[in-house]
Amino acid sequence: MAKVGVLRLAKKKQKIPLTYDVFDTDMGWVALVGSDQGIVRASHPESTPETALDHAQPEVNRAVHSPEDYDDARRLVTAYCAGEPVDLSDIPIDTRTATPFFRSAWDACRTIPAGETRSYGWLAEQAGNVRAARGAGQAMARNRIALLVPCHRVVASNGALHGFGGAGLPLKFRLLAMESNR
């Protein structure tokens, strides 16, 4: 009996096959890591391909380089970083490993129109828990799919910019300004 339980556990821990690409845009190098379901990790635009790949950890470590898997995503992200009005929500994302609340918050975030902002409270309400503004903030802080889940569009209830991972507020401001000026 114990062996059956061990086998079931081993099956649950199987790794999802992943591929990746890293490419240059007008804003910097972007790394994407994906499964057959969609993107699981994306870096912000970075100054070097190595830095972009570092920000796609740990998934990129077990991924196979397969640029052809990212033709459409690369085209859309490159156009976005050039300031073109493209909809990055057309790129599928794979959030199977996230909690249901985080998935809901990320899905709601993807509905915020480019150049507009919403509060963490709005995001919490859209994710199904009006009292979970801090939880919505945590969902954005742990967003592994930068640009595709546009957490730069989420601001404090007073409109102030808060947090933006390693990229910091200057990139958050730059992305909002770029979207607003299109």
Residues assigned a catalytic role: 151
| Nearest partner of 150 among 106, 94, 119, 102, judged by Cα | 106
Unique residue bearing structure tokens 């947090």: 163
| Nearest partner of 92 among 151, 172, 36, judged by Cα | 36
**Which strand (E) or helix (H) includes residue 103?**
helix 100-109
Structure token pair of residue 105: 């918050």
